[in-house]
Structure 1
Amino acid sequence: MPDTTEADGLTVGQVSQRLDVTVRALHHWDEIGLARPSLRTAAGYRLYTAGDLERLHRIVVHRELGLGLDKIRAVLDDGTADVPGALRAQRDQVAERIDRLQQLSAGLDRMIDAHERGLLLTVEQQAAIFGPQWDPDSPARARQRYGDTTQWRQYAERSAFRGPEEWQAIADATADFDRALGDAMDAGVTPGSPEAHQLVERHREVFAAYFPLTRQMQVCLGRMYEDDPGFAAHYDGIRTGLATWFRRIIDADARAHGIDPDTATWNGEQEERYRKRR
């Protein structure tokens, strides 16, 4: 490669600006023999001629189309290469990528809707799945009350990709659990018994369809089931006194796991882990 002055060609920096390619990329292409400058200055600096620029321009175009460097080398240097075939293959890959991006965009739209609405079902679908007593405005109220919590975000992530069939399965599992709860109370199952512990664990499993439920959080729910008029009416409508009995078996299970129900808080377990780390 002959020595020359900068006036005979463009420097790496000049080429970088002209083609919007990084200096690092130009150095790499030189090192692998993809695009070597034809000239050097007396000090050894690279200089690119008009012919070099033409090759670099073609490299940039093919790279923008998504071709890898090895494929670009074949297109530029192999006279027998099937250039249209290579471009068609790349076009097919681009089409697949576009399809994936469109699916991702649709998924993001559903995730946004789920965070804002909670339940992505029509009013008619909600009534069919959850029954005529279901209030379709309850997700909006829950969003207003809990929308800034971790649990709402977890619920939204689960809700985003559920359709009517998945929600029907959750509704059926909840109804089965409610029946089991009433049957156990009728059968005289006592708080703290193995049968009661199994029911409490089953409740946590069923509830996990919405978000993970710790035992401290479950204690808080047990209080709400007993104290909130809507929840109390639901459980006492299954069996008289069921709301209180349900809270009692939750409390007994918590005690069995070293949790004092009287001091349990919604984020209690997270707070305890934080104290231990300190």
Structure 2
Amino acid sequence: MPLKVKEVSKIAGISIRALHHYDEIGLLKPGAVTEAGYRMYADRDLERLRHILFFRELGFALKEIGRMLDSPAFDRLEALELQRRMLEDKMAHTRRMIANIDRSIQHAKGEMDMTNEQRFEGLDFANDPYEQEARDRWGDAAIDESKRKLEKRTATSELHGELRQEWDAKMSALAGMRHEDPASPPAQEAIGDWYVFLGNFGTYSYEAFAGLGEMYVQDERFKQNIDKYGEGLAAFMSEAMAVYARNRKLA
């Protein structure tokens, strides 16, 4: 039986706003829309949503997920097997990091010595090979160079003096309205100021600006750095940036 957007939101643990956004960008279109305008999701739509949420959790950008799912070569069973391997590797990586932290605690207590090599033992933040496998198989075969450039340009370690003060001021202002609707006029005005401010670090197309917003929630380093100004700020900014970019491209 088809489900309404509110029911899908409850079952999948995802916001109604996110489902609307996925519909708007063509990532997850409901199987039908009633005459009254209600989105109705069939079983195949829920299966696609499951893949979206798993790949998102594993660090893929929404645009990449869309390319993979829409590829003629996409295979549901292969995707499930890949997702399992990626999750197993993620678990193993987490266990190695916990072991490193346990040794570091012992070292801090004076219970053991650690060499410089041991301080970083088990820590590997290189690109996940399975991500490239997924791109090669179903999506963009090229490494997303723009993603790395955006990370470098917006790293707060590059900020100094007046730029740093302006960064903090704008983040604080956005944090103050993070519980508002990201599409509201005040939120859009503030995120527009953010778009202008980012011109200090490079030239951004509206598409790149929206992509950067996705990274704010997909990349834990960005999320932690932004959310220190207010819990949920990264998610608010990501949605506001997507709305801003979409509205400007339609203008």
Which interval holds the TM-score relative to the shorter structure? 0.3 to 0.5
Higher RCO, 1 or 2 (CA under 8 Å, sep at least 6)?
Answer: 2
Normalised to the residue count of structure 2, the TM-score between the two structures is: 0.35
> For the pair shown, which has the larger CA radius of gyration, 1 or 2?
1
Normalised to the residue count of structure 1, the TM-score between the two structures is: 0.32
